Structure 1
């Protein structure tokens, strides 16, 4: 992962062109006291292209001036870190409609462009500094922004003395990627167990903690010494932070923590506060609309609805590293062409020699270390969410402990989108239980306890999901309507596997039980149809029909089980519609030009 490539050039519109007198507009926003929203800016330039600039995080000076002018006249109240601290201590609440402005990386434009605006409009802001960049001990700052395009310590002291500026740590040297797996991927330094290629192993827990702690302590010390302050805030590079790294930061003397995230409404009691990343040269109107979306339409609470496939690692295991890469490339190309947004991946496999896994752990032997690379490539190349499919029966039958397995999974894969716990036919039994028995069912409690423990290693910015996965028999289907509202209070999604109905009458019965569910329950259901061993064209068209009918009755989380390189062409031919989420014929591509043989 390379640092952001940005630049900074001086220039401001005449400030007299904008009114400095507050004239409160009839804004519809109402944010409760002790809640806040934070925006995250980076570089500010005069020459940022309206669309498609080389730096997607840069904002044109005109747009920032217009936003500050609107903010000054609006009913929003810009706040300081100190205000959040006082509210946490119970000394005074945050004002209604509180907004915090942050600027990352310490670019020169923070001093030349942003600081004059803060003084003009009397608006406070927070600046996150990578101390090794300012000290010129690390070349990544100049690689990112160009020579002499970072602030100096004297400039920052001037800003600090204004009373409008606060500074936070952006780490000393964690604003970079580190080697994260044997295949060579680089991932955020603050949350990654570094792969030590010369020793063919990963960092130990102690080595990881020592590396992060030393970096944060060094950053805090430099900021405190140079600026004469007592820095208490860490703004994590790339928004990459886990509860584990939060705790390390607290030990380093940085109890305030900020990440990134779509859910931008923060409460003072939140451990890590989220920030809305400003991209694509947003205009003042677009930033205003972002606030409206969060508050008026509760955009942060929208249920993600997606189309998905499940797959195993059989297609990715080769005899050589080159063969592995070739297989992964083909699979990713096929998935990209299909245009779905979720993948469920089997993290373990039954073999004649026993159960094996695909990531380093203390519980099961590792066939090949592939999971981390697959997750990262899926996220950065295809922008899709990847969920770990975990069959509980394998652990129950073998007596292997599940808790340490899941914790190791999260340590090595903090960017995973969620844990998909498959309890198989047991789900039917749970659905048919009375409410009291279901409420205290030991298996459900065990899964939730494991998930709570594993969250310690999950990237806070990702909002990892907990899924309950299983199969429902005909006897259990009638109980679904009364049972599902209780289950979705415990799990983010209920993931149901269905075999193909044998006839139209059976399919109609299956759909009738799903159709009568409340829409809130439908939004929390994921329906996967088994496509194993489909014999002919009629069978494939039947699956197509079932998926379309499932959508027609209001269930939009649909998918198939199991996707392979062998059936990928038939999936694309028969199930592109309804599975694909590609809305434009201009971007459609078919990677299977040789045709399809059912």
Structure 2
């Protein structure tokens, strides 16, 4: 707005005064406004060498020297400002803000190529970096080797302490711990699978038992202590951070690192982050498959929030068999099918429900309260991740646990108004809450999972628990949400950054007033969880016009805040009224129509991997998360 009016010659002093007042007001508002939060990008590199294949190198984490140099040049040319770890720590404490587009470069494992190939380029550009070393590998004795994947690595593949001292003296390289000897797998279950040493309770086949919590924490404490002592002895400065091998950590191992002076830890998920005081689990973009500048630019600009989720919900009851040989064949069938279909996620049943009544009779992991049908969840989840390349979420009831003690089960149960209702524990009974929280913690201890799917048993009718549950439907909804968040925290003690998904019946979406019959609400769920899995199952709801029913459901979800962005439509593949499969062509047509209407996330249940129903070919067409579905040989 121009304050100089046409007759302003006579009133120049007034205009000047007004401008001064506006300027003063702007300065005052700026002073009152909160400071802009620091944004940080962290890149994770490993090996940098000359002879890396353009694509498909045996070492997927190796980057060619040429591409690495181009990355540095691109970052410089696009306004990124490399920062040191010390700068990040200072900014988190409010001492000095980071520059715009701050980027921290990290190098894992302490490979010799960082000294011979990366360090000269970092010095030429003046870029600081963090180098995380496995202290037992530094100056590896010449008679020892490390199985590094593509080949055995020897002394000449790792940095020496002299080289680290030289890089540290440049002022550009800071050294972090990558553990002393945790960069390895340990036996994680009776079947002999191997999982990261930093997060796994070791299975002792001779004693036929798992490591206790105390033994596990003592092992981690000794390893980190040895690493810190070695770095301080050789370099004169204790490390400020630990880069957990395989990004495998939990709140308890982070607490040990804190006690040893390493209050910064790193993850391998995510890209950018807003800096906060707590520097645990900083997101890093893992640089792999030798990306060109164009590849790197795409990754940095790509919005992961736009990616669609594709999930198969899998019954572990169909993997289980009393005959170990048949169980192994069932597992192979599952892995092969998931690999061929190519979903992004598997929601894996972690409880046993052989009678099909919707509640847990037993569990598939060691726990304190229910029988263990088989120690199977850990094995199957890890095989799905490592062999089929999917993210696995543990699927568990919230209230439906049939405790083995009949008297305790009766005392802690909800007296259901409908005898056909799924058995549920009373979430307002402290003992019941503690039992379920213990089960979720035991699940997290037992093995790998990246998220939780809360079963559809978490409901509360308006005529149940009168006098204990809140009268208002919205309050009952929030009470159940608060309980699931308590369960997430219980599991999160051992599995950080768990993604949460909760099943939602379709009726509260189609008829919001029916919240009083379920204590479920789409908007509340999408506020509380990462995703809501609405049961988009018209045949289960006895709809005479399944497609019209689905169209109404989509329209209602779209009206809800963040509805299509947060809601996963879970299709049924079987008409349970006659137990016949839904025709594949019907599922394809429905899925295409959902996507055309803006639905981003799809899942289905059940997935009959034993009989290949729906067929792998049809499943791939509907549920593949690949850019171009194809058969892998």
Check 1:113–1:278 CA distance in 2 against 1; reply closer, same or farther (3 A cut): same
The partner residue of 1:447 within 472, 479, 484 is 484
Given that 1:217 and 1:253 are in contact with CA atoms closer than 8 Å, whether structure 2 keeps it comes out as no
1:472 maps to 2:475: no
Residue of structure 1 in register with 2:631 after alignment: 587
1:514 maps to 2:554: yes
Given that 2:441 and 2:494 are in contact with CA atoms closer than 8 Å, whether structure 1 keeps it comes out as yes
What is the aligned-residue RMSD (CA, Å)?
3.1
Residue of structure 2 in register with 1:488 after alignment: 526
Given that 1:36 and 1:100 are in contact with CA atoms closer than 8 Å, whether structure 2 keeps it comes out as yes
Shift of 1:303: 5.0
SS in 1 for 2:569: strand
**TM-score, normalised by the number of residues in structure 1:** 0.83
1:291 maps to 2:297: no
Q: Which runs of 4+ in 1 moved over 6 A?
A: 427-430, 433-436
Given that 1:244 and 1:457 are in contact with CA atoms closer than 8 Å, whether structure 2 keeps it comes out as yes
The partner residue of 2:318 within 315, 318, 322 is 315
The partner residue of 1:420 within 453, 459, 477 is 453
1:357 maps to 2:363: yes
> Which deviates more, 253-262 or 527-536?
527-536
Count the aligned residue pairs. 547
Shift of 1:250: 1.1
Superposed CA deviations along residues 231-262 of structure 1, whole A, max 9, x for unmatched, are 12101111112222211211232111112113
Given that 1:305 and 1:556 are in contact with CA atoms closer than 8 Å, whether structure 2 keeps it comes out as yes
1:106 maps to 2:72: no
Shift of 1:354: 8.1
**TM-score, normalised by the number of residues in structure 2:** 0.79
1:561 maps to 2:602: no
Residue of structure 2 in register with 1:231 after alignment: 239
Stretches of structure 1 that go unaligned for 5 or more consecutive residues are 1-30, 294-298, 590-598
The partner residue of 2:82 within 78, 84, 90 is 78
How many angstroms apart in 2 are the aligned matches of 1:107 and 1:568? 45
1:346 maps to 2:390: no
Check 1:223–1:141 CA distance in 2 against 1; reply closer, same or farther (3 A cut): farther
Check 1:106–1:539 CA distance in 2 against 1; reply closer, same or farther (3 A cut): closer
Residue of structure 2 in register with 1:296 after alignment: none
Residue of structure 2 in register with 1:249 after alignment: 257
Superposed CA deviations along residues 278-308 of structure 1, whole A, max 9, x for unmatched, are 1111223433443333xxxxx25x0542232
Shift of 1:73: 4.5
Check 1:438–1:522 CA distance in 2 against 1; reply closer, same or farther (3 A cut): farther
Given that 1:523 and 1:556 are in contact with CA atoms closer than 8 Å, whether structure 2 keeps it comes out as yes
Given that 2:41 and 2:272 are in contact with CA atoms closer than 8 Å, whether structure 1 keeps it comes out as yes
Given that 1:178 and 1:189 are in contact with CA atoms closer than 8 Å, whether structure 2 keeps it comes out as yes
Residue of structure 1 in register with 2:383 after alignment: 377
> Which deviates more, 377-386 or 282-291?
282-291
SS in 1 for 2:453: strand
Residue of structure 1 in register with 2:429 after alignment: none
The partner residue of 1:240 within 238, 248, 252 is 248
Check 1:68–1:582 CA distance in 2 against 1; reply closer, same or farther (3 A cut): closer
Check 1:141–1:253 CA distance in 2 against 1; reply closer, same or farther (3 A cut): farther
Check 1:539–1:90 CA distance in 2 against 1; reply closer, same or farther (3 A cut): closer
How many angstroms apart in 1 are the aligned matches of 2:83 and 2:46? 19
Shift of 1:35: 2.1
Given that 2:530 and 2:566 are in contact with CA atoms closer than 8 Å, whether structure 1 keeps it comes out as yes
How many angstroms apart in 1 are the aligned matches of 2:632 and 2:240? 49
SS in 2 for 1:291: helix
How many angstroms apart in 2 are the aligned matches of 1:406 and 1:80? 39
